[in-house]
Amino acid sequence: MTLVRDCMTKDVQVCAPHDTATSAAKMMRDINCGSLPVCEGKKIMGMITDRDIVLKCVAAGKDPDSVHCHDCMTKDVITCSPDTDAHECARLMADHQIRRIPVVENGEIVGICAIGDLATINIHINEAGEALSEISEQQLH
């Protein structure tokens, strides 16, 4: 059995609730990703995506330099633990239509598991592919 701890990214970039949408977008650009955990210290408060910034800030005519991450982040975050089975993590991604899951232990973020991390484990490549396929199909409808 492969656990999330065996494939997760441990060095996670996060932003703070009072960081601006602009600073979150620059961080996403710099590390080439589309979402970031929003954390108060090591406690996860939400997730912010490039889509959140576009829809809730830019398209709403707001100034991304004055909108804070807590104003446009998703507050209900699906998380898992380092001891979650990788199969279960892939199912969570498919069920909730997400590509990244923050990994939390004792209330603190310790990593993040992306669908690409699951695809690096040969035994899970089909599941990760199915999860991504389900996620992509849902976003098209």
pLDDT digits (tens, 9 = 90+) for 61-112: 999 999 999 999 999 999 999 999 998 999 999 899 898 999 999 999 999 9
| Three-class HEC string of the chain | CCEHHHCCECCCCCECCCCEHHHHHHHHHHHCCCEEEEEECCEEEEEEEHHHHHHHHHCCCCCCCCCEHHHHCECCCCCECCCCEHHHHHHHHHHHCCCEEEEEECCEEEEEEEHHHHHCCHHHHHHHHHHHHHHHHHHHC
Domain 4-140 belongs in CATH node 3.10.580.10: yes
Q: Is the pLDDT of residue 137 over 80?
A: no
pTM: 0.83
